[in-house]
Amino acid sequence: MNIHNLFDLSGKTAIVTGSTKGIGKAIAQAFAQAGAKVVISSRTQDKCLEVAAQINDAGGEALAIACNISHKDQLQGLVDATLEKWQHIDILVCNAAVNPYYGPLAEIPEDAYDKIMDTNIKSNLWLCNMVMPQMAERRQGSVIIISSIAGLKGNDRLGAYGLSKAADMQLARNLAVEWGPANIRANCIARDWCVLTLPANCGRMCRQKPAQLPPIPSGGWESLKISPVRPFFSQLLQVVSLPAKPWWLMAVRLLAVEVTHKFILESVIV
């Protein structure tokens, strides 16, 4: 099935930060499959060029622009270069984030705390403020901030990261209130664990089991009427391998993947 059977992003331009691997790369590839022009961005230009080439070779249209989101001048350069190339930005996905510290809040170094807050919150606000005014002029646009389940639940190893992701959720709410009258939508996605390239010192956290699981809907899985979109986001989220994998745990995680896929698809249509 072609992704165009679900929706069409032809003529739209999207910026996806942190899009040379993992979730960001999968989002960018899916946007390109739907017809959008996509800006591939991360800190390393060579990696940006590699992913952009993959999209272009597959028949899409992608532009590589390296950007360290911790630097405001580089964020402005990312926006300026995109507007120079394609004149407008319709979709912004704030996906890039950092987490240099895994451990209790009582022991976090000040520089690590500042880096997490500056990169994961302030940089997103900077970028949104650079992009959203031109969306407002055309009265159309969509902003998606990739948050985390760590922003919803306490964690004894991801406390500072969780604080930043909870703040991202509130940032999306505030952006929706401020920019909604200009016909701009702002959404935040709190993703669960996914299989990515993670620092070695967080391996112990990946083995932790969820404290609780959501109940099965009263009408069964079918009652959610989830669209069959997984073929187009097969790389977006992967189920984390846990030591114990009962069928019901895997079913819940697969359901979460489907719900996230559907939400992203519906959030970007502009």
Q: Which amino acid is at 230?
A: R
196: CB partners within 8 A, 6+ apart: 21, 22, 23
**Cβ(66)–Cβ(39) below 8 Å:** no
Tokens of 169: 């959720």
Query: Is residue 177, in this structure, part of any structural domain at all?
Result: yes
Tokens of 70: 């911790």
Residue 191 pLDDT: 77
Is 101 one of the annotated active-site residues of the chain? no
Residue 268 pLDDT: 53
Q: Give the DSSP letter of residue 254.
A: H
Report d(CA 39, CA 17) in Å as an integer. 8
Residue 147 pLDDT: 94
| CATH assignment of the domain containing 146 | 3.40.50.720
Per-residue pLDDT of the chain (270 residues; tens, 9 = 90+): 565 667 789 999 999 999 999 999 999 999 999 999 999 999 999 999 999 999 999 999 999 999 999 999 999 999 999 999 999 999 999 999 999 999 999 999 999 999 999 999 999 999 999 999 999 999 999 999 999 988 998 888 899 999 999 999 999 999 999 999 999 999 999 877 655 544 444 444 444 444 433 443 444 333 333 333 333 333 333 333 333 445 455 555 555 555 554 555 455 544
Query: Is residue 113, in this structure, part of any structural domain at all?
Result: yes
Residue 7 pLDDT: 77
Q: Residue 132 burial by CB count (10 A; 0-12/13-18/19+): exposed, middle or buried?
A: buried
Report d(CA 33, CA 4) in Å as an integer. 8
Query: Is residue 205, in this structure, part of any structural domain at all?
Result: no
Query: Is residue 65, in this structure, part of any structural domain at all?
Result: yes
Query: Is residue 49, in this structure, part of any structural domain at all?
Result: yes
Q: Give the DSSP letter of residue 126.
A: H
Q: Cβ atoms within 10 A of the Cβ of 7, count?
A: 13
Which residue range(s) make up the domain with 122? 3-194+262-268
Residue 76 has phi, psi (to 5 degrees) of: -65, -40
Give the DSSP letter string of 50-109: HHHHHHHHTT-EEEE----TT-HHHHHHHHHHHHHHHS---EEEE--------B-GGG--
Query: Is residue 236, in this structure, part of any structural domain at all?
Result: no
C-alpha angle 13-93-61 in degrees, rounded to nearest 5? 35
Query: How many domains is the chain built from?
Result: 1
Which of these is catalytic: 101, 102, 113, 161? 161
Q: Give the DSSP letter of residue 158.
A: B
**Cβ(201)–Cβ(158) below 8 Å:** no
Query: Is residue 229, in this structure, part of any structural domain at all?
Result: no
Nearest to 103 by CA among 159, 48, 65: 159
Query: Is residue 162, in this structure, part of any structural domain at all?
Result: yes
